[in-house]
Amino acid sequence: MIQANMRRAALVAGAAATALAMGAGLATEARAADAASATVAEVIVTAQKRAENINDVPESLTAISGEKLDAIRSSGGDIRVLSARVPSLVLESSFGRTFPRPYIRGLGNTDFDLNASQPVSFVYDEIVLESPILKGLPLFDIDQVEVLRGPQGTLFGRNTPAGVLKFDSVRPSQTFGGYAEASYGTYGTANLEGAVGGPIMPGVLAGRISGLYQHRDDWIDNSFTHKNNATGGYDEYALRGQLLFTPTPEFSALLGAHVMHLNGTPQIFRANIITKGTDNLVPGFNPDTIAQDAQTRAFQKVDISGANLKMTYELGGPVITSVTGFEHAKVLSRGDIDGGFGASFAPPFGPGFIPFPSESADGLPYHAQWSEELRLAGKMDALTYTVGAFYFFEDVKIDSFDFNTLGGGTQDGFAYQHQKTTSWALFGNADYRVTDAWKVGGGLRYSNDRKDFLAQRLMSPFGAPPTPVEKASPSSDEVSFNLDTTYAIDKDINLYARLAKGYRAPSIQGRLLFGDTISVASKETNMSYEAGVKGYFFDHRLRLDADAFYYRVSNVQLTAVGGGANFNRLINAKHADGYGFELNAEATPVERLQLTAGLSYNHTEIKDPNLATQPCGAPCTVLNPPGALPGTVNINGNPLPNAPEWVANVTAGYSIPLMTGELFAFTDWAYRSKVNFLLYKSAEFQGKYLFEGGLRVGYRVPAQGWEVAVFGRNITNHISLEGAIDFNNLTGFVNDPRTWGVEVKAKF
Of the listed ranges 15-19, 345-349, 355-359, the one predicted with least confidence: 15-19
Percentage of residues in the chain having pLDDT higher than 70: 95
Q: What percentage of residues in the chain have a pLDDT greater than 90?
A: 88
| pLDDT at residue 75 in the model | 82
CA distance 256 to 324: 10
How far apart CA 156 and CA 129 sit, in angstroms, is 12
Report the pLDDT averaged over residues 546-551.
98
User: Does residue 407 register a pLDDT over 70?
Assistant: yes
| CA–CA distance, 701 with 511 (Å, rounded to integer) | 55
Q: What number of H helices and E strands is found in the chain?
A: 3, 45
Q: State the Cα–Cα distance between residues 101 and 556, nearest whole angstrom.
A: 17
Average pLDDT value for the chain: 93
> What pLDDT, in 10s, does the model give residues 696-713?
999 999 999 999 999 999
User: Letter for the amino acid at 589?
Assistant: P
- The string of pLDDT tens digits covering residues 155-186 is 999 999 999 999 999 999 999 999 999 999 99
* 30 pLDDT more than 50: no
Averaged pLDDT, 593-622: 95
Tell me if residue 71 falls in helix, strand or coil.
helix
Inter-CA distances, 308 with 127, 257, 319, 322, 373, Å = 8, 6, 19, 10, 11
Mean pLDDT value of segment 525-544: 97
Residues 6+ apart with CB under 8 A from 173: 197, 198, 206, 208, 244
DSSP characters for 438-458?
A: EEEEEEEEEEEEEEEEEEEEE
Rounded average pLDDT over 330-341 = 96
How is 11-28 classified by DSSP, letter by letter? HHHHHHHHHHHHHHHHHH
CA distance linking residue 433 with residue 410, whole number of Å: 68
- What per-residue confidence (pLDDT) applies to 564? 65
pLDDT at 35 over 70: no
> Looking at residues 268-272, what average pLDDT do you find?
96
551 near 528, Cβ under 8 Å?
Answer: yes
Lowest mean pLDDT among 22-36, 360-374, 680-694, 710-724: 22-36
Query: What pLDDT shows up at residue 250?
Result: 96
In angstroms, rounded to a whole number, what is the distance separating the alpha carbons of residues 523 and 161? 11
Specify the DSSP element, H or E, that contains 69.
helix 66-72
Residues 572-577, mean pLDDT to the nearest whole number = 97
Q: Please compute the mean of the pLDDT values over residues 656-681 and round it to a whole number.
A: 96
Question: How would residue 67 be classed by pLDDT, with cut points 50, 70 and 90?
Answer: confident
Structural domain that includes position 278: 2-747
pLDDT above 70: residue 501: yes
C-beta of residue 88 within 8 angstroms of C-beta of residue 121:
no
Q: How far is CA 241 from CA 255, 662, 736, in A?
A: 8, 33, 32
Residue-wise pLDDT for 72-95, tens only, equals 988 888 999 999 999 999 999 999
Q: What is the pLDDT of residue 3?
A: 45
Kindly tell me if the per-residue pLDDT of 20 is higher than 70.
Answer: no
The answer on pLDDT for 13 being more than 80 is no
428 to 96, 375, 390: CA distances (angstroms) = 38, 9, 11
- Residues 6+ away with beta carbon under 8 Å from 33: none
Exposure class string for 298-314: b at 16+ Cβ within 10 A, else e = bbbebbbebbbbbbbee
- pLDDT exceeds 90 at position 146: yes
Digit-coded pLDDT (tens) for 110-120:
999 999 999 99
> Domain holding 434: CATH number?
2.40.170.20
What is residue 24's predicted lDDT score, i.e. its pLDDT? 36
Would you say residue 294 has pLDDT above 80?
yes
**pLDDT for 59:** 97
In terms of C-beta distances under 8 Å and separation of at least 24 residues, what long-range contacts does 176-180 make, across chains too? 177/747, 177/748, 178/208, 178/747, 178/748, 179/745, 179/746, 179/747, 179/748, 180/745, 180/746, 180/748
Q: What is the mean pLDDT of residues 660-668?
A: 96
Q: Which residue has the higher pLDDT, 732 or 2?
A: 732
Predicted pLDDT at 74 = 87
pTM recorded for the entire structure:
0.93
pLDDT in tens, 190-205: 999 999 999 999 999 9
Q: Is 440 exposed, middle or buried (0-12, 13-18, 19+ CB in 10 A)?
A: middle
Given a cut of 60, is residue 23 above it in pLDDT? no
Is pLDDT of 33 > 70?
A: no
Q: CA angle, corner 564, sides to 120 and 558, nearest 5?
A: 20
pLDDT digits 0-9 by tens, 451-472: 999 999 999 999 999 999 999 9
Q: How far is CA 248 from CA 47, 255, 299, 310, 626, in A?
A: 27, 16, 50, 15, 69
Query: What SS3 class is residue 234?
Result: strand
Mean of pLDDT values over 676-698: 95
- For the segment 278-304, the average pLDDT, to the nearest whole number, is 94
How high is the pLDDT of residue 565? 61
Overall domain count for the chain: 1
pLDDT at 566: 65
Q: Note whether 588 and 538 are within 8 A (CB).
A: no
Closest CA to 326 of 237, 258, 401, 260: 258
Please name every residue paired with 304 in a beta bridge, in sequence order, or none if there are none.
260, 329
**What does the alpha-carbon distance between residue 638 and residue 606 come to, in Å, rounded to a whole number?**
5
